[in-house]
Amino acid sequence: MSKTVELRGVGVGSHGLVGNVWLLAMAGSPLEPKRATRELAEETEALTTSIATTVSGLRGDAAGNDSVSSDIMEALLVLVEDSELLELARPSLEQGWDGATALQNALDEFSAMMGEDEEFQSRVSDLMAIGREIGSVHRGEKRALDLPSDGQWILVARDLTPLETSKFGPSVVGVITEHGGPTSHTAIICRARNLPAVVGCHGALTLRHGSSVLLDPAGDRVVPGGSLELQTQSIMLAPLSDAPLITVRANIGSAEEGRDAAQTVAQGVGLFRTEVLYLNASDAPSLAEQQALYREVFLAAPRGKIIVRTIDAGSDKPVPFLPVAREENPALGVRGFRMASKFPEFAESQLRAIAGAVAETGRDVGVMAPMVSTVEEVRHFASLCHQAGITQVGIMVETPAIISVLPDLHGLVSFLSIGTNDLSQYLFAADRLHPELSSFNSPWQPGLFREIKRIVDAGEILGVPVGVCGESGANPLVAIVLAGLGIHSVSAASSAVNDVASALQGVTKKTAQRCASAALSATSPEQAQSEVRAILEEL
């Protein structure tokens, strides 16, 4: 490959680095089938032990990670430990295959049972990676996962499973994946860990193991053989005032993340994702249990307003105690606030528990519903909130339909919060997790900015503040555009909060408005980004 050919993708983080490539491309190949050398009972027992030791090791590794990664890993480990998996492995064991082969066959069968569903399949490939790890342990072979243990490397892979991300040590200093978009699992985890990455990077697997590359997330690219001088300069804006132009809050999903957020300059919480607390819960928590958890989160959270989102279960975030039938299109299925009609008791208990935790802590709390698309739903949510004693009622704006009817929400809501992750996927009809559609979900899409402007205008008519809590707000330059469009607050993962706040301290309202008009009139995401950069570079 010529040194001058650069690979384009979606950057995560703002600092670039030069490093050597560690190619993880081969880690996905299945283990070779082998016959057992022990008796059936002994082999079965050995497999049970291999599963238990590997799971416990992985659980230990995951415990040292950020809570986003460890929650994802825990959901997978629970499946691997399930006795049904061993049952699926039994026929192969009885036919004389070794535990590693039997486990792999069981996982293949499990995958077939899951059908064609893309979302299930992405979980299955994560499970397969864990299966290979158990198989290698079982055979006493070198671990299937070939991650660097010393030196400093930029990891290159087709995509990364939670198993792989959970095992990153200090030797992994950057990440490049062929698949994944700006809101993919890999991007969210790299952002949470402050690891620069370029995801959805076409041609990543053509990079040679050991070769040097420039990882340039600010420029959304990887330059083989490139030097650090070539990196897209992060725009350093000198502070013009003590406070950012608009309020910057943190996005959290647990008390631990609340404590992390409290170490940043975040002025409160823009999105508390309550479902994160329950991704592995098989039984519905009682009202008292919920209240205790919310109380802990409220006490840990940074000073300022806290915006709690009621459970956003379903689709890519299944919650075991709120089951839905198998759906052809889960992102268009029973999810978000739609769950409140299916599970009214939980919806009611959650609102009462939040109200109880507000009373106990005295925090300033607004509560919003995810995924609403009609006035009736908003009316229903507002009435549930009022019955529970909640007065600050808001909604997430993440479906195109709700935008059109925003003027009809007068008196029903006291704030709006734009979920740009889902809003992008529904506006562009492009699955937010789809590996080949990441450019539709770019935060720089002019079509997205134009919809955000419509929402801001509607918020003005309603007389309510409008925030952005999707990943768009984690990009400092996009945050400036959002401020220029008239957005009142943005929120982002704790690792991005300080960068976003300092960018917003370095611009006047007038500059932000210039950036917004450039972004609004652009005809491509690339043009929007380069015109905004040009305005800020000349400051």
Q: Could you say which of 11, 99, 419, 473 contacts Mg ion (CB under 5 A)? A: 419
Looking at the Cβ atoms of 80 and 197, the one nearer to ligand PEP is: 197
Looking at the Cβ atoms of 197 and 235, the one nearer to ligand PEP is: 197
Longest Cα separation, the chain: 77
Pairwise CA distance, residues 388 & 348, whole Å: 7
Looking at the Cβ atoms of 335 and 352, the one nearer to Mg ion is: 335
Q: Could you say which of 420, 439, 494, 529 contacts ligand PEP (CB under 6 A)? A: 420
CB contact at 8 A, 33 and 93: no
Stretch touching ligand PEP by CB under 6 A, among 73-81, 212-220, 418-426, 476-484: 418-426
Q: Does 253 bind ligand PEP (CB under 6 A)?
A: no
Q: Does 421 bind ligand PEP (CB under 6 A)?
A: yes
Query: Alpha carbon 501 to chain centroid distance?
Result: 21
CB contact at 8 A, 476 and 236: no
Pick from Mg ion, ligand PEP, none: which does 420 bind, CB < 5 to 8 A by kind? ligand PEP
Residue with nearest beta carbon to Mg ion: 422
Pairwise CA distance, residues 219 & 1, whole Å: 20
Which 309-328 residues touch ligand PEP, going by CB under 6 A? 312
Catalytic residues: 185, 469
Pairwise CA distance, residues 299 & 506, whole Å: 31
Closest CA to 336 of 380, 280, 300, 387: 380
Binding-site size for Mg ion (CB under 5 A) equals: 3
Pairwise CA distance, residues 417 & 440, whole Å: 21
Residue type, 297: V
Pairwise CA distance, residues 66 & 35, whole Å: 40
CB contact at 8 A, 168 and 195: yes
Pick from Mg ion, ligand PEP, none: which does 43 bind, CB < 5 to 8 A by kind? none
| Main-chain dihedrals φ then ψ at residue 449, nearest 5 degrees | -60, -40
Stretch touching Mg ion by CB under 5 A, among 9-17, 19-27, 381-389, 394-402: 394-402
Q: How far is the CB of 87 from ligand PEP (least distance, A)?
A: 35
Q: Could you say which of 422, 431, 451, 471 contacts Mg ion (CB under 5 A)? A: 422
Which uninterrupted H or E stretch holds 426?
A: helix 420-427
Stretch touching ligand PEP by CB under 6 A, among 20-28, 90-98, 280-288, 416-424: 416-424
Contact mark string toward ligand PEP, 261..290, x via CB under 6 A: ----------x-x-----------------
Q: Does 422 bind ligand PEP (CB under 6 A)?
A: yes
Q: State the Cα torsion 135-139-144-150 to the nearest 10°.
A: 140
Q: How many CB atoms lie within 10 A of CB 274?
A: 25
Q: Does 419 bind ligand PEP (CB under 6 A)?
A: yes
Residues in contact with ligand PEP by CB under 6 A are: 271, 273, 312, 398, 419-422, 469-470
Residues in contact with Mg ion by CB under 5 A are: 398, 419, 422
